[in-house]
Amino acid sequence: MVRIILFLLLIALGAAGAAWIAEQTGDAVLSWGGYRVQTTLPVFVLALGIVVVAAMMIWAILRGAWRTPARMRRNRRERRQARGRHAITQGLLAIGHGDSTAARIHAEAARKHAAHDPLALLLHAQSAQLDGDREGAQRAFRAMAEREDTRLLGLRGLFIEAQRADDPVAAVMVAEEALKLSPSSSWASHAVLGFCCAKGDWAGALKILDNNQSAGLIDKATYRRHRGVLLTARALELEKVDRDLARESVMEAVKLAPTLVPAAVLASKFESEAHQVRRSMRLVETAWLAQPHPDLADAYAHVKLGDSARQRLVRVETLAAKAPDHIEGALAIARAAIDASEFTKAREALAPFIAAPTQRVALLMAEIERTEHGDSGRARAWTLRAVRALHDPAWTADGYVSDRWRPVSPVTGRLDAFQWQTPVAALPSDKGPAIESSPFEEAMLATPRRAVVLAPPKDVDEEKPVPLPVDPAPSAAPAASAPAPTAEQDNAPPPAATAEVAPAEPTRPEAVPAPTPAPPKPAESAPSRPAPLFRSRQDIPKAVPTPIPAVIPLIRAPDDPGVDDEGAPDEFAEQIGPPKAQAGGWRGFLSRWGGN
């Protein structure tokens, strides 16, 4: 609308100017050499306008003819760039959906039409990576690293290729060069920081951490935590080399990260050696409230040197009370109680966790049984149960389980990656119970009862077989101490007296006459017998027992090798060594002829 109004205004101004010129009177005379031209003013203005327009048209034609080659070159370049951009776009899309063949074709087209485009170099490198051509990818990244605009991108690609080739030295060199070009590069600082931690250069790691904090890559809370981790790692390394520097480092670390378990343990140790007992206890208590840990309990128990085992037990009970119902507190109490020979208190501490014990709970129960009663059978049963028990928490980072705390993850190089938690592979499954107790374990862990030898009753028929305990397997021999019901055995000779396991009752001497038998009680009031440990199979019918005459069985001594009874010949068992060679010549012929 504005353009239309302006156009109309220009037409009106032109018309007004032409009318004004036409109204003017006068003559215009042009004298040039011997020529003289005289005309009226309107005609002169009209002729002058025609000359100006003609000159402009001639200039435009000449200028267009002069610029035509450059315009043609520019148009051809623009077409090539458009084709190159199209190839780059299609190539990146092909890489996105994993079509290596299309990506390679578009990369060749992009390199042909837009060889100097940074995206063409990137497309060529990524297509080579998709094809598995590492040398081609490295050439493309080196070409990118030689250009100013793509140098950091090329170094990033070379770093990734060095990691894939398992060349940490080259990867760190590339990361250090990238860190010089761009101190705010997060991947370069992360790589160099992990390398410094791996080789124990804690001063360099602290310097890089300070640079990251000044560049705004990490916040203040993360910076304090990471600095505390690095200082703790340096203190642990220098604990036996430079104790002054180690003490200074760990004291600063525990101020920055008071809940860091290794820092609290080491700082408590230094304070305890300096006879600062209350300060040492406060350090451990602060970390214990955040994360109970066995190292914290051990440091708290030994915070005062020279204490007896009972004094350590009292101190550990005080620490465990700050996090009630936690398994680490119960384990710490049990450990201190065993050292103090307070086995009842140790059992009470572990009682809530016996139903589904962890490995440490089972091992502590085995130690209690072995130390208190000297019962090696029950100790072996608890040890066997510990094999299939749930795993205890451990220092875990990125699926890697370590026996000690580390500042960085050995898998990804991530700082402060280790956490005190149960490993993922050790978590219980929802398809079945985590612990399956066998009858042998139940028998070994059952409460022992007194064995009472009872005299045989007067009215028992001597020819009737007496029930005897069945021994299903030699491995179940230790279960003889557990209560088990007797099963009938058809071929057992009648013994003179039977040893039966009965509930705990006062032993009656044989000299005292048996009391008068009481009238039988009704079936409802009969005490329920315990469930048998080994049940007889119901699917196999039992033959009717036949009376067996009393004979004296022949029993061999344990050291008697016996008589080698030859069994049925076995064609596979007879030939143990290599077969004998067949005789040749006329002897072999005669032997074969005679055998036939």
CB 211 within 8 A of CB 183: yes
Segments in 343-402 forming alpha helices (H) = 343-350, 359-368, 376-387
Segments in 388-496 forming alpha helices (H) = 439-445
Q: How far apart are the C-alpha atoms of 335 and 333, rounded to whole Å?
A: 5
pTM of the model: 0.57
Q: Which of 100, 90, 148, 97 is nearest to 120 (CA)?
A: 90
Q: How far is CA 267 from the centre of its chain?
A: 29
CB 250 within 8 A of CB 256: no
Report helix angle 151-164 to 134-145, nearest 10: 150
Report helix angle 118-131 to 41-96, nearest 10: 20
CB 449 within 8 A of CB 501: yes
Q: In this structure, what token pair is assigned to residue 292?
A: 């109970």
Amino acid sitting at position 52: V
b/e per residue, 437-448, with b = 16+ CB within 10 A? eebbbebbbbee
CB 140 within 8 A of CB 125: yes
Amino acid sitting at position 459: D
204: enclosing H helix or E strand: helix 202-214
Q: How far apart are the C-alpha atoms of 364 and 384, rounded to whole Å?
A: 13
Task: For residue 207, give Cα distances in angstroms to 90, 169, 188, 230, 444.
Answer: 44, 20, 14, 11, 60
DSSP summary character for residue 28: E
Torsion, Cα of 364, 369, 371, 372 (10° steps): 120
pLDDT value, residue 494 = 42
Q: Which residues of the chain have pLDDT under 70?
A: 425-596
Q: In this structure, what token pair is assigned to residue 283?
A: 């350090």
Provide the mean pLDDT of the chain: 76
Q: How far apart are the C-alpha atoms of 457 and 474, rounded to whole Å?
A: 31
Q: In this structure, what token pair is assigned to residue 229?
A: 């981790």
- Name residue 419's beta-bridge partners: 396
Alpha carbons within 13 A on the beta-carbon side of 538: 1
Task: For residue 4, give Cα distances in angstroms to 8, 9, 11.
Answer: 6, 9, 11
Q: How far apart are the C-alpha atoms of 191 and 176, rounded to whole Å?
A: 8
Count of beta carbons in the 10 Å neighbourhood of residue 127: 28
Amino acid sitting at position 318: T
For the four alpha carbons of 488, 492, 494 and 500, in that order, the dihedral sign comes to negative
CB 232 within 8 A of CB 260: yes
pLDDT digits (tens, 9 = 90+) for 175-225: 988 988 888 888 888 888 888 888 888 988 999 999 888 888 889 999 999
Q: Which of 77, 142, 137 is nearest to 107 (CA)?
A: 137
Q: How far apart are the C-alpha atoms of 272 and 307, rounded to whole Å?
A: 13
Alpha carbons within 13 A on the beta-carbon side of 575: 5
pLDDT value, residue 468 = 41
